[in-house]
């Protein structure tokens, strides 16, 4: 799989891989832009979930203020999860995925590029939209920076882990609910530290530690998750 890495002409291969990475990302971003409704759906879902909590629990500002970090984080998590199923679905349906697996290019990079493109289409907009939700839920202004920073570092990890679930279930007709079952338990650490960072920012405590832990999880995710995704894709497609 990683044969090009051991090739003596490293420089040529390096650019080759960078080109591959950019090409995959560009393709996925373009495909996403051509279907704008798919792009907006997770964001609308995010907004709706957040508006359910005041309706369902209490519109009291002091109460919502305490709830806000967790609610925004859970909303972002669920929105990411919801969008995960489409990550490999269309590629699988039209056979592109099979061609990608057959190509000599390292699958690790292809997969990583796809996940990053997916994150740029879901996690990044969610991060940018989060202050709006924070405002709706009366999150104190001091918490906004922490909220955005934690989401910025945390959502790529969510995308990486979610992609494992998507890759495992891509061959199944009914993947939707199954992905949540597989992936939600793995999301727990990200949720804990993400919401913890916002909480710390609200109360004025240093949040460097939380962000460092989120960053560590992201680093681990970038290093290991593409391996699992690639293996899962091979299994799903061959089976």
Partner 1 sequence: MAENKKWLPRWFYQMASPRWCYEFCGRLLPWFVVAAVLLLGAGTAWALAWAPADYQQGNSFRIIYIHVPAAILAQSCYMLMAVAGAIGLIWKMKVADMVAKSCAPIGATIAVLALATGAIWGKPTWGAWWVWDARLTSMLVLLFLYLGVIALHSAMESENTAAQATSVLALVGLVNIPIIKYSVEWWNTLHQPATFTLTEKPAMPMEMWLPLLVMVIGFYCFFSVSLMLRVRNEILHRERRAGWVRTLLEKA
Nearer to partner 1 by C-beta: 46 or 157? Answer: 157
Asked if 205 interacts with partner 1 (CB under 8 A), we say no
Q: How many other β-carbons are positioned within 10 Å of the β-carbon of residue 169?
A: 24
CA-to-CA distance for 145 and 147, rounded, in angstroms? 5
| Most distant CA atoms of the chain, gap in Å | 66
Give the N- to C-terminal CA distance of the chain in Å, as an integer: 19
Nearer to partner 1, 121 or 230 (CB): 230
Question: In whole angstroms, what is the distance from residue 65 CA to residue 156 CA?
Answer: 26
In angstroms, rounded to a whole number, what is the distance separating the alpha carbons of residues 115 and 122? Answer: 10
- 101 belongs to the binding site for partner 1 (CB under 8 A): no
Q: Which residue number, 131 or 159, has a Cβ lying nearer to partner 1?
A: 159
Question: Residue 86 Cβ, how far from partner 1 at the closest point, in Å?
Answer: 18
Least distance to partner 1, CB of residue 47, Å: 28
CB of 29 to partner 1, least distance (A): 27
3-state secondary structure of 26: helix
Binding stretches for partner 1 (CB under 8 A): 164, 168-169, 171-172, 174, 178, 181-182, 184-186, 188-189, 192-193, 196, 213, 217, 220, 224, 228, 231-232, 235-236, 238-239
């Amino acid at each position: 799989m990683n044969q090009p890495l051991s090739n003596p002409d490293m420089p040529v291969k390096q650019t080759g891989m960078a080109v591959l990475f950019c090409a995959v990302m560009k393709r996925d971003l373009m495909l996403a832009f051509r279907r704008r409704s798919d792009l907006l759906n997770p964001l609308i879902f995010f907004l709706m979930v957040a508006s359910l909590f005041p309706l369902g629990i209490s519109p009291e500002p002091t109460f919502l203020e305490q709830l806000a970090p967790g609610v925004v984080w859970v909303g972002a998590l669920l929105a990411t999860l919801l969008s995960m199923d489409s990550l490999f679905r269309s590629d699988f349906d039209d056979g592109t995925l099979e061609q990608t697996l057959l190509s000599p290019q390292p699958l690790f990079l292809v997969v990583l590029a796809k996940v990053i493109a997916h994150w740029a289409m879901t996690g990044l907009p969610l991060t940018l939209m989060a202050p709006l939700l924070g405002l709706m839920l009366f999150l104190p202004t001091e918490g906004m920076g922490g909220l955005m920073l934690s989401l910025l570092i945390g959502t790529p990890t969510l995308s990486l882990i979610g992609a494992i679930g998507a890759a495992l279930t891509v061959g199944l007709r009914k993947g939707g609910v199954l992905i949540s079952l597989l992936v939600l338990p793995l999301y727990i650490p990200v949720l804990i530290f993400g919401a913890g960072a916002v909480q710390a920012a609200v109360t004025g405590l240093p949040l460097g530690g939380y962000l460092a832990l989120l960053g560590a999880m992201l680093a681990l995710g970038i290093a290991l998750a593409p391996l699992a995704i690639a293996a899962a894709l091979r299994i799903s497609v061959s089976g």
